[in-house]
Chains A and B, each alone.
Chain A
Amino acid sequence: EAGVVQSPRYKIIEKKQPVAFWCNPISGHNTLYWYRQNLGQGPELLIRYENEEAVDDSQLPKDRFSAERLKGVDSTLKIQPAELGDSAVYLCASSSWTLSGTSGYNEQFFGPGTRLTVL
């Protein structure tokens, strides 16, 4: 079974240019996440989708970042215009609810990430 797919793997752009990242989650996973990981830090959530709906975008800088998941499958994250401080690794993850006993959990699986360098 294929894992989470992301493209491109690397992107170098000049500041003020636009950039877009694409993610295809694991088949059947209805929850999709975008995280940003700065050097030496753990990932931080930018946005979470349940199917097509963005249910948590409180950490997304909405003045320059946008995301969509039109058909509830793959997703695109865009930055326009990019700033020097946006240089980071952008990770996509997906999960589905697993019932366990009387409760359950969402185990998140991550893609390889897109390393963005803004010059």
Chain B
Amino acid sequence: KQEVTQIPAALSVPEGENLVLNCSFTDSAIYNLQWFRQDPGKGLTSLLLIQSSQREQTSGRLNASLDKSSGRSTLYIAASQPGDSATYLCAVVTGANSKLTFGKGITLSVRP
């Protein structure tokens, strides 16, 4: 059974800092990995999707990397801003059923 872990559960950083959010998964036979952002009381916004054949994806100040063999992904946020404060969830698809298995998320707070 696939398990996704995100540690720590919460992170607080000063504005402008570059930061890395970690995600690990137990079954390396994934189809793809998605990073989502969730604001309080809101749904999930897809940030980046990395296919199993890819090593990284970039969108603006965000860069996500994937190391399938070690079961790890990182989300790099450059020059963090208070508006980046949210919960960031990592999820993987294992198997052809396209079911996403989520971690519990990392709640990020960027202090002005």
Task: Say which residue of A41, A100, A110 sits within 8 Å of B104 (CB atoms).
Answer: A41
Provide the residues of chain B in CB contact with A100, threshold 8 Å.
51
Decide if B104 touches A43 in the complex (CB within 8 Å).
no
Q: Which residues of B contact A109 (CB under 8 A)?
A: 46
- Do A42 and B43 have beta carbons less than 8 Å apart? no
* CB closest chain-B residue, reference A50: B98
Binding site for A on B (CB under 8 A): 4, 31-32, 34, 36, 41-46, 49, 51-53, 89, 91, 93, 97-100, 102-105
Q: Mark A80-119, 1 if CB is under 8 A from B, else 0.
A: 0000000000010101000011010111111111010000
Kindly list chain B residues whose C-beta atoms are within 8 Å of the C-beta of A40.
Answer: 104
Interface residues of chain A: helix, strand, loop or mixed (majority): strand
Whether A106 lies near B93 (C-beta < 8 A) is: yes
Q: Determine the distance from Cα of A40 to Cα of B106 in the docked complex, in whole angstroms.
A: 10
**Interface check A75, CB cutoff 8 A:** no
- In the bound complex, do residue A42 and residue B91 qualify as a contact, i.e. CB atoms below 8 Å apart? yes
A55: interface (CB < 8 Å) = yes
With beta carbons under 8 angstroms apart, the residue of A42, A48, A115 that contacts B102 is A42
